Structure 1
């Protein structure tokens, strides 16, 4: 075999190898496979951190073809849940977001899930609990018994709503009930719009009750039954990225966390609250209790 034939054979093998590689990766459609990001939302949602930062980053990252929101939460503070809900809704306009409900995705956990492109839940997932709760301790009798007298100076008659050292008035309870009703109606509307259900249908089961993932599918809240792997499979299909790499997106660590560990920032925040006299919290919650 002369030199020209050898060169031709080598060139042919090279082109065949390149073609085979391109076919395997499907470069034209998959951008080398892309990535599927898993974002974990766990425990009571008390703030938007670090979730909004992570979702912002993933929204802008073109290599991320879809996001799987792994929700394992009984709910949380109304404002924080609403912000995460809005961010999820925003991202779905650019790329698929698939929610994977874990053991529990109730109340606020459901609220942040409903705008997703698809929702996947295990048959035994606890979800639902559509409603709002506001609780406060009343210590008036205890204070009277111990002999504690609290002096309150305020700018308006309703400035110390839910003061634990006196009984609430009928007018105060009426104001708080209206606040609850407003947040409840926002919740119902979010479920109806996100799951494409009539509001009247949602109101029939939006009374605080919980139900299984299987029941949620029959009600139209959940799209498919399955675990995290199923949700990833759905995300790959929706984004047309069957060869995408799956990774867990984590927040960027602060300097304190890098030096002293993951919980150091939380300890500092708690200490700062104590120094400012913020020892108690009364919050409007989308929370399953």
Structure 2
């Protein structure tokens, strides 16, 4: 029994999630922090969120009848594009009531993760960086490579616009902005701007996100009977 408890504790530390047992509703809190680690293992000095831990955690939450809602707390610099998009797609497809809140930053692939929940919040001091798809390492300068980047970027843009109120042309303009970042292309937006653009649903803090999730739970029929 002790070994099982230690294993559960270790898994909780790996995924950075927690469940509050003594509350109005049983909420699962999932944190997405640091870099999204996908197909390649990042260095030991990097704080990462591993998608091989997050994916089974989401499956467990979705099938657990006792878990009534999911709160996703985001403070990420981005990371592996396909891994981040895969997590975002899974969250968007959940029947469980979901609310996300961006604290600190929701940069790069963190943007699709933020909008993947059924309702999204951002604190006033948080920021989000919107930029084109990038790749590390050697890149072949051929038309096929550019075509691949364009297709990947379109997938991200369509996901964001499908799951938020942002206008596609506005999003593309923010991505391709060359006048704000000194050594990069893109735009950094703060909390109020993210809401004004329709990228995030609401400006607020943890209490606001919890109230929204509680209301969503109470207004939603049981997902599994």
Q: TM-score, structure 2 length as denominator?
A: 0.72
C-alpha contact (below 8 Å) 1:130/1:187 kept by paired residues:
no
Residues in 1 aligned to 2:188 and 2:109: alpha-carbon distance in whole angstroms: 12
User: Is the counterpart of residue 35 in structure 1 residue 4 in structure 2?
Assistant: no
Give the greater-gyration-radius structure (CA).
1
2:70 partner SS: strand
Unpaired runs of 5+ in structure 1? Answer: 1-31, 137-161, 242-289
- State the match for 2:35 in structure 1: 44
SS at match of 1:211: strand
Which segments of 5 or more consecutive residues in structure 2 lack a partner in the other structure? 1-22, 39-50, 177-185, 220-225
- Which gives a bigger RCO, structure 1 or 2 (Cα 8 Å, sep 6+)? 1
| Matching residue of 1:205 | 174
CA contact (8 A) 2:166 2:197 kept: no
The CA RMSD measured in Å over matched residues stands at 2.0
User: What's the CA shift for 1:40?
Assistant: 0.5
Q: In 2, distance between residues paired with 1:84 and 1:49?
A: 10
* Alignment-derived partner of residue 180 in structure 1: 149
Residue 87, structure 1, aligned to residue 87, structure 2: no
Number of the residue aligned with 2:81 = 78
Q: What SS does structure 2 have at the residue aligned with 1:134?
A: coil
Q: Does 1:134 align with 2:135?
A: yes
Q: How many residues align?
A: 176
- In the alignment, the residues of structure 2 paired with residue 101 and residue 86 of structure 1 have an alpha-carbon distance, to the nearest angstrom, of 18
Contact 1:36 1:232 in 2 (8 A): no
User: Out of 151, 156, 160, which is 1:191 matched to?
Assistant: 160
Give every structure 1 segment of 4 or more consecutive aligned residues whose post-TM-superposition deviation is greater than 3 Å: none
- Bigger share in strand: 2
1:240 to 208, 212, 218: 218
- The Cα shift of 1:60 comes to 0.7
Task: Tell me how far 1:115 sits from its aligned partner.
Answer: 2.2
Are residues 1:227 and 2:194 paired?
A: no
